[in-house]
Structure 1
Amino acid sequence: MSIPFAEVIGDPIAQSKSPAIHGFWLERLGIEAAYRRFHVTAGDLRDYLDERRGNADWRGCNVTMPHKQAIIPLLDRVDAMAAQIGAVNTVVREHGALVGYNTDAPGFLEPLRRDLAQTHLFRMARILGTGGAARAIVAALADAGAVLVLAGRDPAKARAILDTLDPGGEHHAVPLSHFAEPTDFAFDDREGCLDLVINASPLGMTGQPPLPFDFSHVPPRSICYDIVTAPARTPFLNEASRRGYRTVDGLSMLIGQADHAFRRFFGAHPPRGEDEELRRRLKA
């Protein structure tokens, strides 16, 4: 007997933790459905969507590298937020149409909600990376009123992202190497400031080069956030903790964005009261 299913696609895809997250929630809620990995190369993306469109059991898919931008012209419709960001990480079939969403932005913001609900003298975020996830983070934080410093290997690409996503903002684009060298900049250390330092790149991930970063760039009382999920505690986060900074790991964003996708795929709210058990499973 066939059952409803969703999946995550990418190239590579074996490392994805999404099946463990969605599988945990389906199990806890007693929903008879499945969530799988499916390896899709760039050349196979169109054929994949054409085949899944005709499968009545397919509820949609999450989209990982390198397809978050390439998939957009292949869809019937794209949500306004995803269109603004220029990246889709969730595809849902709605009344026969394939609709693209971006759940990275709300997923990223989820662990920062209490901070962003407060009033601040100034908000600044230093973001390292210019990929699809970084675009979502830029859009989310610009909308939250933060001044952004976006660092990438190609500063021109970083500048283009800022100008596209928040053309009226007073943001700054710098080379990634800017944060690798020490600085003696005198930071505003008033308690009413909210400072974020975010690794939105794959650097520091298992199998990737280390993140080149000097902690003299971290203002007092900053929140250090790394979206890398393998390992969950990256060298960047470990050093931030050692220095006394508050940290947010990549599982926070991963679980948060999966929450929004799960609701669209399966029409139910995940049991978020069991996040600690889910985290234990993901780290096992």
Structure 2
Amino acid sequence: MTLSRDGVAAVIGRPIHHSLSPVIHGAWLEAAGLRNQYIALAPETPQAVWALLDSDTLLGCNVTAPYKEVVFDWARPRGVVIGPEAAATRSVNLVRLGDHPRAESTDGTGLLAAIREQAPHLDLAAATVVVLGAGGAGRAAVQAMTSGGATDIRVVNRTRDRALVLAEEQGAGVAGFGLDEVEVALTGSHLLINAASSLETLDLAGMSAGGAVMDMTYRPLETPLLARARARGLTPIDGLAMLIGQARPSFEVLFGLPAPEIDVRRLCLEALEAQG
């Protein structure tokens, strides 16, 4: 395929064959009557990512693992305008190229949208929130919870020092814990956000009744962690809701129009079923 800046956007990551972003954006493009394309690309190295962004190939792109921090490092020395959430999390999931390039992060927006959709009863301002993971996804989750009004956030990481560093960066209301302290952190909590990996042995018994558990991944849609949450009467929040929530503002930045109000979740579920 010969690409030009006239109308092609992409999602870049590695691996990328599993991504549902082309399904989502493709459906919105069709519904909006736009002739643009949205494709998936898998650069093999960080250097290849930088070369792609420096070329005249794309009008912009979404970015997924493992390149969110790579793209942040690309943006800084080039004078690219970096949005506040991307600056706070030091990771980028959206780049608009062209004459006035911008690097943004819509991960926090997507996370908050997923919570509002699937756990509307949850009052973040009154909630104790536990975030598993202190990497880029964990930073995005903490930032989103802070902007959403949470004032009691507990970061749990395999390496306790990384959790403490993140907590210190974020300031008052954020505390760091090691993985061996996870049950202490979960005691009395109202929301658990998994920004690391599903822990098969994680005990959710200490969470407050009526609480919610979110897993950022959507493969499988109901992860073992979400299945355990449901079995305990906790509200599960899946990663697909977050993906769609972060895609909406991305679409408007990339293509200049609000995302059409169509049922892209149904299309994603059909794609997941077809892919097995």
Q: CA deviation at 1:281?
A: 2.6
Q: CA deviation at 1:30?
A: 2.2
Match of 2:168 among 152, 156, 163: 163
Q: Secondary structure at the residue paired with 2:251?
A: helix
Equivalent positions of 1:172-211 (< 5 A) are 172-179=175-182, 187=188, 195-201=190-196, 203-204=197-198, 210-211=199-200
- Say if 1:256 and 1:65 are closer, same or farther in 2 by CA, change over 3 A: same
Contact 1:6/1:36 (<8 A) preserved:
yes
- Say if 1:248 and 1:99 are closer, same or farther in 2 by CA, change over 3 A: same
Equivalent positions of 1:97-108 (< 5 A) are 97-108=100-111
List runs of 5+ in structure 2 lacking aligned partners: none
Determine the structure 2 residue equivalent to 1:138: 142
Contact 1:42/1:66 (<8 A) preserved:
no
- In 2, distance between residues paired with 1:132 and 1:184? 20
Q: CA deviation at 1:277?
A: 2.4
Contact 1:224/1:248 (<8 A) preserved:
yes
Q: CA deviation at 1:253?
A: 0.3
Determine the structure 1 residue equivalent to 2:261: 272
For residue 69 of structure 2, what is the amino acid of its counterpart? Q
Determine the structure 2 residue equivalent to 1:245: 234
Determine the structure 2 residue equivalent to 1:5: 8
- In 1, distance between residues paired with 2:30 and 2:231? 37
Q: Secondary structure at the residue paired with 1:32?
A: coil
For residue 142 of structure 1, what is the amino acid of its counterpart? T
Question: Stretches of 4+ moved more than 4 A in 1?
Answer: 114-121, 182-186
Q: CA deviation at 1:35?
A: 0.7
For residue 200 of structure 1, what is the amino acid of its counterpart? A
Contact 1:61/1:91 (<8 A) preserved:
yes
User: Counting helix residues as a fraction of each chain, which structure ranks higher?
Assistant: 2
TM-score, structure 2 normalization: 0.86
Q: CA deviation at 1:77?
A: 1.9
Pairwise CA RMSD: 2.5
For residue 32 of structure 2, what is the amino acid of its counterpart? L
Calculate percent identity across the aligned residue pairs.
29
1:31 maps to 2:31: no
- In 1, distance between residues paired with 2:143 and 2:238? 20
List runs of 5+ in structure 1 lacking aligned partners: 188-193, 205-209
Moved more, 64-73 or 84-93: 64-73
Contact 1:184/1:216 (<8 A) preserved:
no
Q: How many residues align?
A: 263
Determine the structure 2 residue equivalent to 1:151: 156
Q: CA deviation at 1:119?
A: 6.2
1:50 maps to 2:31: no
- In 1, distance between residues paired with 2:120 and 2:174? 19
Q: Secondary structure at the residue paired with 1:105?
A: helix
Determine the structure 2 residue equivalent to 1:93: 97
- Say if 1:273 and 1:59 are closer, same or farther in 2 by CA, change over 3 A: same
1:260 maps to 2:265: no
Equivalent positions of 1:52-71 (< 5 A) are 54-55=56-57, 58-71=58-71
For residue 246 of structure 2, what is the amino acid of its counterpart? Q
TM-score, structure 1 normalization: 0.83
